[in-house]
Chains A and B, each alone.
Chain A
Amino acid sequence: AQTVTQSQPEMSVQEAETVTLSCTYDTSENNYYLFWYKQPPSRQMILVIRQEAYKQQNATENRFSVNFQKAAKSFSLKISDSQLGDTAMYFCAFMKPSANKLVFGAGTILRVKS
């Protein structure tokens, strides 16, 4: 079974600074998908970024980028120029192709301070 580990329960960052959230996973699959979801205080789950394991290039969405290290099974999220609106709980998630199910990590609470 796949597992996803987020080792940082809480983190803080100053506004405009850069922060990296870590995520590791365990799988025997060669092809799969990885996601970062954001859950702000409103509690709506918002997809931040998606990475396909067969793509070597790291995914990027504006201020959000990932460092995908397939051999190390690591999938960290970097948030540049942090904004107050980035304050949220962030979940790393794994999905096997055509398996539907998302396996979530425990989450990291990120607080952006002004």
Chain B
Amino acid sequence: GAVVSQHPSWVICKSGTSVKIECRSLDFQATTMFWYRQFPKKSLMLMATSNEGSKATYEQGVEKDKFLINHASLTLSTLTVTSAHPEDSSFYICSAQKLADRDQPQHFGDGTRLSIL
């Protein structure tokens, strides 16, 4: 168990458009989901922590209005990159933590490659 699905896996879009990425926990309920950004051959950088039914907590330096996060249910969190520009091109990964399982490992999605032209 503990499967996290991320969609889409790859998206290419024009500069100025908004892009929504979905993160779903398929076989468990996730109180908390995390959104990371990763540049090629670099480490994962935590962008925000998303808790079901409440506002996301953003890491320092991450623009809240640029990266909108919604965690409307215990199985779905979305990241919307608003008015995307080429510098937003990156690999975005989500992870989820099981309900009442806070000391257990996070389960990661397969990531989304975002390319802004």
- Binary contact readout B100-113 vs A (1 if CB under 8 angstroms, 0 otherwise): 00110110101100
> Are A47 and B111 in contact, CB atoms less than 8 angstroms apart?
no
Contact with B49, one of A95, A100, A105 (Cβ below 8 angstroms): A100
| CA–CA, A5 and B49, complex, Å | 23
> Are A100 and B95 in contact, CB atoms less than 8 angstroms apart?
no
Where the two chains meet, the residues of A that have a C-beta atom closer than 8 Å to any C-beta of B are: 33, 35, 37, 42-47, 50, 89, 91, 95, 97-98, 100-102, 104-107, 109
11 contacts between A and B (CB under 8 A): A33-B103, A44-B110, A44-B111, A46-B108, A89-B41, A97-B103, A100-B32, A102-B46, A102-B106, A104-B44, A107-B43
The A-contacting residues of B in range 22-52, CB under 8 angstroms, are: 32, 34, 41-44, 46, 49
Q: Is there a chain A Cβ closer than 8 Å to B91's Cβ? A: yes
Contact with A43, one of B43, B95, B102, B111 (Cβ below 8 angstroms): B111
Total A-B pairs, Cβ < 8 A: 47
Q: Is there a chain A Cβ closer than 8 Å to B93's Cβ? A: yes
Known contacts A97-B103, A100-B102, A102-B46; decide if A42 and B41 are in contact (CB<8 Å): no
The A-contacting residues of B in range 82-117, CB under 8 angstroms, are: 91, 93, 95, 97, 102-103, 105-106, 108, 110-111
> Are A45 and B43 in contact, CB atoms less than 8 angstroms apart?
no
Distance between B93 CB and nearest chain A CB, rounded to angstroms? 7
| CA–CA, A43 and B43, complex, Å | 12
| CA–CA, A72 and B41, complex, Å | 28
